[in-house]
Structure 1
Amino acid sequence: MLDTMTFTKTLGAFCGALLIFLLAKWGAEELYHMGGHGDVQQAYVIDTGAEEEVEVAEEVSLDELLASADLGRGARQFNKCAACHKVEDGANGTGPHLYGVVGRDKASVDGFGYSGALDAAEAWTPENLFAFLENPRGYAPGTSMAFAGLRDAQDRADLIAYLDSVDN
C-alpha cells in the first residue's frame, strides 16, 4: 500500500538524486571551465605540414549549367514551388502562375496582386531567375514570398530549364 510515509520517502529520494545530479553537473562545469574564458591558449598545435588552403569552387557559367540541365530533376525541384505556384496558363495560386515565366515581364500576370518588391520594368531572363531562385528575399527585399531559395546552382538551372519547357 502507498501511504503518506512511503510517498514522502519516495519524493525525498527523488529530490535527493536530483540534487546530487545538479551538484555533479556544477562540479564538472567548474572543472571544465577552469582558467576563465578569454585567457586560455591552446597547449599543443599539431603541424600538418600544409598551409591552410581555401578551396575555391570552380565557377561554372549559367549557359553551361542550362546546357546540362535535366528536365526531370527540374520537375522534381518544381515540387518545392507547387504549393504556391501553378504551371497552367492563367491558374494563379498563392503565387502567380509560372507558365511562360522565362522571358515574361516581371509582375505582369493579370489578376494577381504583387507585393511591389519586383522591378516591373525588367523581364524574367534566365539570369534574373537564377539570382532570384538563389535567395528571393535578397533579390527582392520586401517580397511576400516565403521561399528560402535553392543553394545549388545546378538545381536552379534544372528548374529554369523545366519552367522554360512547360510553355513549349
Structure 2
Amino acid sequence: MFDTMTFTKIAASLCGALLVLLLGKWAADELYHVNGHGDQAYVIDTGVDESAEEVVEVAFADVFAAADAGAGARVFRQCSACHKLEEGEHAVGPSLYGVVGREVDGTDYGSYSGALEEVADVWTPEHLNGFLENPRGYAPGTSMGYNGLRDVEDRANLIAYLQSVVN
C-alpha cells in the first residue's frame, strides 16, 4: 500500500518543488532588483513642501507635569518582568518601591553596577528619564538589559506612577 519507494518519490517531489521555488525567487530578485540607478527622471510638483519637518523638542518637565500615573501603570507591565513594587522585595532587578528620590544604590539589593553610581547619586525624575530612555547609553556598563522607552510621555507616565506608589 505505502512502501518505501512511494515515500521516497513524495519526499523527492517536495524537495524538487522547493528547489524550483527558491530558484524562481532568486531569478526574480535578480531580474527586478532596483539598485537606485541615479536620480528620478521627472519629478511631479504636488505643491507640498517635502523638506524635513521641524521636530519640536518638548521639555521633560512640561511632559512630567502633565503625566498620568494610570497610564504609567500600564507601562510598568514591561518593568514587572524584572522588578517588584513591594518594599524590600527584589527580583532580577532591585525593588522599585520609592525609587523616585532614593539614592541610586539605596536598597539591600546587592548587585548594583558601578556604572549607575557614576552617573547619578539620587534617582530624580530627570535622571530616571535619561536612564529609561536608553539605559546603556545613559550609564555605559550597566547590567540592565532593557533597550529603553523611546516615547517621552511613556517615560513621564511611568515615573509618575512609580512616584505615586509610595504616596
TM-score (norm 2): 0.79
Residue identity matched to 1:28: A
Structure 2: gaps spanning 5 or more residues: none
The residue that corresponds to 2:106 in the other structure is: 108
**Count of matched residue pairs:** 166
RMSD of the alignment, in Å?
3.0
Offset at 1:157? 0.4
The residue that corresponds to 2:56 in the other structure is: 58
Offset at 1:139? 0.9
Percent identity over paired residues: 60
Structure 1: gaps spanning 5 or more residues: none
Cα 1:15–1:72 shift into 2, 3 Å: closer
The residue that corresponds to 1:133 in the other structure is: 132
Residue identity matched to 2:146: F
The residue that corresponds to 1:162 in the other structure is: 161
Cα 1:75–1:15 shift into 2, 3 Å: closer
What is the CA–CA distance in structure 2 between the aligned matches of 1:122 and 1:149, rounded to whole Å? 20
What is the CA–CA distance in structure 2 between the aligned matches of 1:8 and 1:79, rounded to whole Å? 51
Listed one character per residue, the Cα deviations across residues 95-148 of structure 1 (whole Å, up to 9, x for unaligned) are 111122111111221242112211255211111101111111111111111112
SS across alignment from 2:81: coil
Structure with the largest fraction of helix: 2
Listed one character per residue, the Cα deviations across residues 16-67 of structure 1 (whole Å, up to 9, x for unaligned) are 655654554454344325xx94755544433333332222332222222122
Would you say the 8 A contact 1:92–1:112 is kept in 2?
no
Cα 1:117–1:55 shift into 2, 3 Å: same
What is the CA–CA distance in structure 1 between the aligned matches of 2:138 and 2:130, rounded to whole Å? 7
SS across alignment from 2:78: coil
Mean CA deviation greater in 115-124 or 39-48: 39-48
